[in-house]
Structure 1
């Protein structure tokens, strides 16, 4: 939500505030690392599968969830269907039912474009 600058610091602060354990931090920091290193590529890939929506016009929640899901798909360690399911759950929890449907379609399309589904 705050751009690439300071993303690691923001993530660490959130993890501290929520008392996230070491295993979860390790996993989450790997995903954050992908977003930091490949953010432009992630945004370009998302732009390709959201042809009718400019990324900057999406809500912050949807944009963040999509970036997280894309980073997790890039890592390739989590089954794509699990990535989609978790992205939808995040969108439902922090966005709306409409956000969840949108995220479902975009992450599914991205996974297919990446050859993961």
Structure 2
């Protein structure tokens, strides 16, 4: 089983979770995958992606909502909403997966499971989330002033 297939199982579990409210049942998920059982590392990936997305759903929904100007999250198709949720989880919480990979995987899954128009919308929203995340990460090359250092400009403005 590939990570792409794992993401598709996660999408299906998130979709079911959204409509039933029930926590995903690992045994049920394993039974669903019995024809194509995942390797240990793929199963760990599924567990992290599914449980992490559910655990951080409110935060992920807020990020998606901010990136969806003029669209209400609850008015989006459930498939699109859940694709963006797990992809946003990867972007924000999985530093081992490049943003471009997470976005591309989400777009390809949207092409398979959603409408023809959805994939470009999902691409734009996830790209915006990735850029907002990158803007919040401080430049490692930036030199921090020692805590006792005086900001001469601030002192000058304060005196004026």
Q: TM-score, normalised by structure 2?
A: 0.65
Pair 1:39-2:54 in alignment: no
- Tell me the distance in 1 between the aligned counterparts of 2:27 and 2:70: 34
Which structure 2 residue ranges, 5 or more long, are not aligned? 1-14, 136-160
Aligned residues: 115
**Partner residue, 1:60:** 78
Shift of 1:35: 1.2
Shift of 1:26: 0.8
**Partner residue, 2:43:** 25
- Tell me the distance in 2 between the aligned counterparts of 1:100 and 1:63: 12
Q: Which has the higher helix share?
A: 1
TM-align CA RMSD: 1.9
Q: Deviations over 1:37-74 (max 9, x none)?
A: 11100000110000111110000110010001011112
Q: TM-score, normalised by structure 1?
A: 0.87
Higher mean displacement: 43-52 or 22-31: 22-31
Runs (4+) of structure 1 exceeding 4 A deviation are none
Query: What SS is found at the alignment partner of 2:69?
Result: coil
- Tell me the distance in 1 between the aligned counterparts of 2:65 and 2:30: 29
**Conservation of the 8 A alpha-carbon contact between 1:15 and 1:25:** no
- Tell me the distance in 1 between the aligned counterparts of 2:121 and 2:114: 11
Instruction: Say which one has the larger Rg.
Output: 2
